[in-house]
Amino acid sequence: MSHKRVLLIHEDRLLANLLREKIVAANFGVEVAHDGEAAVQAVRELVPDAIVMDAVVPGPELTKLIAQLREASGQPSLPVIVLANARTTYAEAAQDAKAVSLQRGVNPIADIVDALQTALKLERTSILNKGVAFHAEDGWLKMSLAAAPEVLAALRRALHEISRDGGAQPAAKDLYHRVHAFAEQMAILGQKPLHSLAAQIEALAYDLYAFPEQINPSILRTLSQAMDFFAGLLPDAVRNKLKDPASAQVLIVDDEEGARKIIMAAMRLANLKSVAADTPTTALAALGVQGFDLIFLDVGLPEMSGFELCSKVRMLPLHEKTPIVFITGMATFQNRVQSSLSGGNDFVGKPFNISELGLKALIWVFKGQLGQV
């Protein structure tokens, strides 16, 4: 037995319990703290050999918190392992603090244990399991899914407060922290499709928290729609029909090069593959020979309008029910009505929020998989 002591810092209690159980099974002693203040106090009392922490915990920002933890422990080089997060800012902050930023692999538990054993110069017993996908016991997944309606209700309350107060920072922070924890649950519990959607909600929630000036009715409406849609994915019969969105193909039709690049960047961040066409002729040629899971369609195109092109797309056997989202700089009521009449499913106005585009894309890809178009 290693007899090494680890302080685990994680706001989410379900994940803290799961991770603690697995790290203890690897012969470490583990204490848990759920926020920065409790972690600093625990370090003074425990004097751990290493720290494993989520990138997002209540308290000081990451670099400052790591410095406080090392100072409280009296160990300037105390090993700190920061769990993966989709935002590169946290990886950069961990690097600045000379901590290990752990990138999530197929077996996050083995990754954590291996990182601890490496940092503490112990025999690496988990290295052979790093390439083997981790499967959590059904009990952990059932607990997570059983708690999900309550989590979604809390997210809706926070979103309502943001909408009512025009961007209340405490509510935006609460929204971000809660959806981050849920996204991490889905990742560690191996629920790829649900993690993809939750992580994209998290990305948009972060924008609301970090850049309140970006809050607008469109973003709030998209977040509300995403939460309602997520609630419908929780039953086993529905969830098990979902596929990894990384296999989906998105077609972007826009004659503006800048807009195409922005939309393609949004798709990459949502882990979706995309190709672009700058004219209706090019788009129809691609649509005639290849099936796509989603189409973004500009309204103001050369040769014909996006509405006319949509009508033609609906006549193609491969794309009678493919989700189509219109994009335009003129999000007027008349255009919204016309988009529906021509066979479109949704409407996005310019300028774009990249996270919102990615979230809309995932929702419609999943709706297509479930036959809800």
Q: What angle, rounded to 10 degrees, do the helices at 169-188 and 138-165 form?
A: 160
**100-108: average pLDDT:** 86
Q: From edge to edge, which strands make up the β-sheet containing 273-277? A: 273-277, 249-253, 294-298, 324-328, 346-349
**CA 46 – CA 72 distance, rounded (Å):** 10
Per residue in 305-362, pLDDT (tens digit) is 899 999 999 999 999 999 999 987 655 546 555 655 566 898 887 788 899 999 999 9
Range scoring the smallest mean pLDDT among 97-106, 171-180, 279-288, 352-361: 97-106
Residue 87 predicted with pLDDT over 80: no
Distant-in-sequence contacts of 72-76, Cβ < 8 A, 24+ apart: 72/40, 72/43, 72/44, 73/43, 73/44, 73/47, 73/48, 74/47, 75/47
Q: Which residues in the chain are classed under CATH 3.40.50.2300?
A: 4-129, 245-370
Range scoring the smallest mean pLDDT among 100-114, 179-193, 199-213, 335-349: 335-349
Amino acid 133: pLDDT: 73
Which is more confidently placed, 363 or 373? Answer: 363
Residue 61 predicted with pLDDT over 70: yes
Per residue in 198-221, pLDDT (tens digit) is 999 999 999 999 888 888 888 899
CATH architecture group of domain 4-129? 3-Layer(aba) Sandwich (3.40)
Q: Does domain 245-370 have CATH number 3.40.50.410?
A: no
Mean pLDDT score of the chain, rounded to an integer?
90
The two structure tokens encoding residue 363: 């929702």
Q: Which residues in the chain are classed under CATH 1.20.120.160?
A: 138-239
> Per-residue b/e over 352-366, b at no fewer than 16 CB within 10 Å?
bbbbbbbbbbbbbbb
CATH superfamily, domain 138-239, is HPT domain (1.20.120.160)
Cβ-contact 197, 366 below 8 angstroms: yes
pTM, 2 dp: 0.91
**CA 181 – CA 103 distance, rounded (Å):** 17
